[in-house]
Amino acid sequence: MIHGINPVSGERLEGVPFTSAAELEQVFERARAAVLPYGKLHKDQKAQFLRQIAEELELLREEITLSGHLETALPMARMQGELTRTTTQLKMFADLVQDGSWVDARIDPALPERNPPRPDIRSMYTPLGVVGVFGASNFPLAFSVAGGDTASALAAGCPVIVKGHNAHPKTGFLAGQAISRAVQKCKLPEGVFSLIYGPDNQIGEKLVTHPAVKAIGFTGSRQGGLSLLKLAQSRPEPIPVYAEMSSINPLVVFPEAMHERPEQLAQGLFGSFTLGSGQFCTNPGLVFIPAGSQVFLDTLKTLVEGSGAHHLLTSGIQDHYLKGTQIHGQLEGVKVLASGAGEVAAQVFLVEAANWQDSLQNEVFGPSTVLCVYQDLAEVEKILHRLEGQLTATAHIADADLPALEHLLPALQNRAGRVVVNGFPTGVEVCAAMVHGGPHPATSDPRSTSVGTRAILRFTRLSCFQDLPDSLLPPELQEANPYQIARLREGKPE
């Protein structure tokens, strides 16, 4: 059995069983058997299945949010919001699948008169096969068992095997029950969804190396993501790993913005880097401020020094946080501007841009941030170019800062998947245009996003059919267009 531990009281919570070796083999066999029937399911039935999962999760709302709260110490309001986000995400993919046009169907009909004659060529995105999913500890619902990776893989037509996170086993188990109920109610093959648990990394390694598995979705630590990526690439048949990993999300406060609203900026930053005890992959962990920002510094110091103790998700994350903040504080030229109360306290570090050291960009997962004081935006540009890839980069500007932002924008865009202006990066809207990705090590594949409708493309491959009889083509490519989807004919909308 694996038991969650309440991070506040240390209490051992109700456990869930580990998956035995024999059960694991059956999981792979069932998933393999579900590939073809589920892959060719009618789009309306697939959409109905995704909506049914959302409905089953709603039925468990009280139980699942309470379990999440107890296992993670994240507030009940956050758990409620995260469940809503999870069901919204499933419904977004249901709408996408029902519309059907996402498969990007392209038709170039035969040109028998041409010299040489052109055959009939049709192509579209098709499901990749069984997908293995690893969720992160900090989003026990939205990036976990029924989260974005699972929703997008199921939407693509792929059976899913989730490796449950040991930091919130019961919450994951309940979400898994909701999905399994939806599988039964929609009369789908049992292997469309499975949830597995193991005492250590071995079960995850088996998931990545099993020949039935054709892609991995991972959200978690850089170390975990990179080891799974290496494992997947060393298989006889290497497979893609879409790993969403670490990011410090640089934020630049431009001079006029700082002059105009120093207190508001300090309050906004405090709210953002302490949200969820700083356990967000979009936490602003590096903030550039102009020299002489005294009102901002004083306001932030007061807020941080008045803040109480935090409870982090696991003892491992707590150990990393305490070690990471200690290392930052001991670096030459780095000062502690302010600390909150308790063993796990919010912390703000201060460094002059002239004293910048690359080790300051190591993610310290928790309620801390580094303020980097610049004399001139050229210093910021230089440091931005040295940063690793990020999920987000943010600019706070006033109207008079616009030309300066125009100059810095290429550096911000070059380093991050999403550029934010006059906001804080911690919120990630679930919508069609969202990109939650970025260059390494924010993700293992900068061409992808794990949030938004484009996340579906990660679990597909392109299939092309040349001169296939119409009746054997997938409905999306048949001449009569039975699904009535948007398609390209001769490169133009039909």
Which CB atom, from 90 or from 133, has the smaller least distance to ligand NAP?
A: 133
Rounded least distance, CB 198 to ligand NAP, Å? 7
Least separation in angstroms between CB 333 and ligand NAP: 26
Give whichever of 2 and 192 is closer to ligand NAP, judged by the CB atom: 2
Q: Distance between CA 82 and CA 75 in Å, rounded?
A: 11
When the beta carbons of 221 and 318 are compared against ligand NAP, the nearer one is: 221
Q: How far is 132 from 27, CA to CA, in rounded Å? A: 11
Residues linked to residue 369 through DSSP beta bridges, in sequence order: 348
CA angle 263, 269, 274 (to 5 degrees): 130
Expressed in angstroms, the distance from the first to the final Cα of the chain is 56
Dig out the tokens for 226 from the structure: 């990179």
Q: Which is nearer to ligand NAP, 124 or 420 (CB)?
A: 420
**Could you say which of 56, 82, 158, 281 is catalytic?**
281
Nearest approach in angstroms of CB 283 to ligand NAP is 8
Dihedral sign from CA coordinates of 276, 282, 286, 292: negative
Phi, psi for 254 (deg, rounded to 5): -80, 155
* Distance from C-alpha of 313 to C-alpha of 221, rounded to nearest angstrom: 13
Return the amino acid letter for 490. Answer: E
Query: Which residues, in sequence order, are CB contacts of 71 under 8 Å at separation 6+?
Result: 4, 5, 6, 13, 140, 167, 168, 169, 170, 171
Given the complex with ligand NAP, which of 159 and 225 has the nearer CB atom?
225
Residue 137 CB, shortest distance to ligand NAP, in Å, is 3
Extract the runs of DSSP E, i.e. beta strands, from 254-309.
286-290
Nearest residue (CB) to ligand NAP, 131 versus 391:
391
Catalytic residue among 56, 82, 244, 388: 244
CB of 99 to ligand NAP, least distance (A): 26
Phi and psi angles of residue 67, each rounded to the nearest 5 degrees, phi first: -60, -45
Active site residue 464: no
Closest distance between ligand NAP and the C-beta of residue 24, in Å? Answer: 14
Contact set with ligand NAP (CB under 6 A)? 134, 136-139, 143, 163, 165-166, 201, 204-205, 219-221, 224, 227-228, 244-246, 281, 317, 363, 365, 391, 436, 450
Q: Are 191 and 34 in contact (CB under 8 A)?
A: yes
Q: Tell me if 326 sits within 8 A of 366, measured CB to CB.
A: no
Q: Are 161 and 207 in contact (CB under 8 A)?
A: yes
Name the residues annotated as catalytic: 244, 281
